[in-house]
Amino acid sequence: MRADQSRATRLTLRTIALLYLGLLVAVPVGMVFYNAFSDGLAAAWASVTTPEAQHAFWLTIVMVAIAVPLNTIFGITAALSLVRGRWRGKTIVSALIDVPFAVSPVVVGLALILVYGRQGWFGGWLTEHGIQVIFSVPGMVIATIFVSLPFVVREVVPVLREIGTEQEQAALTLGASPAQVFWRITLPAIRWGVAYGVILTTARALGEYGAVAVVSGKIVGETQTLTLHVEEQFQQFDLTGAYAASVVLALIAVFVILSMNLLDRRKEKS
């Protein structure tokens, strides 16, 4: 009787969750795929293999490869010190970490130009030393880091709180060094938090338009990420190209999620 009831609840909850996801995400994403391939596979393939699209693809990969590791290291460090440390201003720093989300992407771009642009705070010094930050890859990387900064922290903090410190304490008592404790106990325990943090950071880094667009200078075949390329194709009435490039972005995100699952399975085996 109880089992029946819980089964019914389970089914109801599952149905609601899937229906919601279906209408909100699956159908729109399905439509992106449908539109990308509505002119045939060949047309879609051709539109994502133009030199412009290819360059945009690699630039996107480079941005992700820089922003995600940096934010992951920062995220784990910050989460550990926020949960385990007792220092002044902790609450404020914790709230500051989320601020990048509250800033409209348009304003992020403006802010970076105010600091690193020709007339910006560091602009004079940078120009003197011949360093181009804005309107080149470094500026775009900073913008990407900015908008995807909080994820790892926010994913890891609740998990760290949940697992407590007993195991770590025990290991320390048994004579393990703090480094060993971190690699053998803390990191495995928070791995799901880190994994989801990395997934979200990657996804956000892939999809960001506003902030990156402002600081990119939109130089064709040079400072265009895939997302910027999508916008450009849309501007030029090439909807197939825009949707096909979006499919590529979605596939990169799915690939990252799947590789995270793989990592976990291997870990369970060993």
The three-state (H, E, C) secondary structure of 49-107, written as one string: CCHHHHHHHHHHHHHHHHHHHHHHHHHHHHHHHHHHCCCCCHHHHHHHHHHHHHCCHHH
Interaction of residue 47 with other proteins, rule CB under 8 A: no
Nearest approach, Cβ of residue 12 and other proteins (Å): 10
Q: Looking at residues 103 to 132 of the shown chain, list those that interact with other proteins (rule: CB under 8 A).
A: 103-108, 110-115, 117-121, 123, 127, 132
At 79, the amino acid letter reads A
Do 56 and 248 meet the contact criterion of CB atoms below 8 Å apart?
Answer: no
Q: Does 78 bind other proteins (CB under 8 A)?
A: yes
Q: Is 54 in the site for other proteins (CB under 8 A)?
A: no
Could you tell me how many residues make up the chain?
270
Q: State which of positions 146-175 bind other proteins (CB under 8 A).
A: 146, 149-150, 154-155, 157-159, 161-166, 168-170, 172-173
In the complex, least distance from residue 49 CB atom to other proteins, rounded to whole angstroms: 18
In the complex with other proteins, which residue's Cβ is closer, 37 or 192? Answer: 192
224: left (phi over 0), alpha (psi -120 to 50) or beta: beta
Q: Is 39 in the site for other proteins (CB under 8 A)?
A: no
Smallest distance, Å, CB 109 to other proteins?
9
What letter does residue 119 receive in the DSSP assignment?
T
Q: Is there binding between residue 43 and other proteins (CB under 8 A)?
A: no
Q: Confirm if 47 and 245 have CB atoms less than 8 A apart.
A: yes
Report the C-alpha dihedral over residues 7, 8, 13, 19, rounded to 10 degrees. Answer: 120
Q: Does 90 bind other proteins (CB under 8 A)?
A: yes
Q: Which of residues 222-251 bind other proteins (CB under 8 A)?
A: 222, 226-227, 230-232, 234-237, 242-243, 246, 249-250
Q: Residue 228: which of 217, 237, 94 has the closest Cα?
A: 217
**Minimum CB separation from other proteins for residue 43, in Å?**
14
Q: How far apart are CA 209 and CA 245, in angstroms?
A: 14
Considering only CA atoms, which of 143, 165, 157 is closest in space to residue 209?
Answer: 143
Minimal distance, residue 175 CB to other proteins, in Å? 9
48 lies in the binding site for other proteins (CB under 8 A): no
Is the Cβ of residue 8 or residue 41 nearer to other proteins in the bound state?
8
- Least CB distance to other proteins at residue 37 (A): 14
Instruction: Extract the tokens encoding 1.
Output: 């009787």
| Residues from 178 through 207 that contact other proteins (CB under 8 A) | 178, 181, 183, 187-190, 192-193, 195-196, 199-200, 202-204, 206-207
Number of residues located near other proteins, criterion CB under 8 A: 146
Closest distance of CB 157 from other proteins, Å? 7
Dihedral Cα 109, 110, 115, 121, nearest 10 deg: 160
Residue 57 sits in the site that holds other proteins (CB under 8 A): no
Q: How far is the CB of 41 from other proteins (least distance, A)?
A: 19
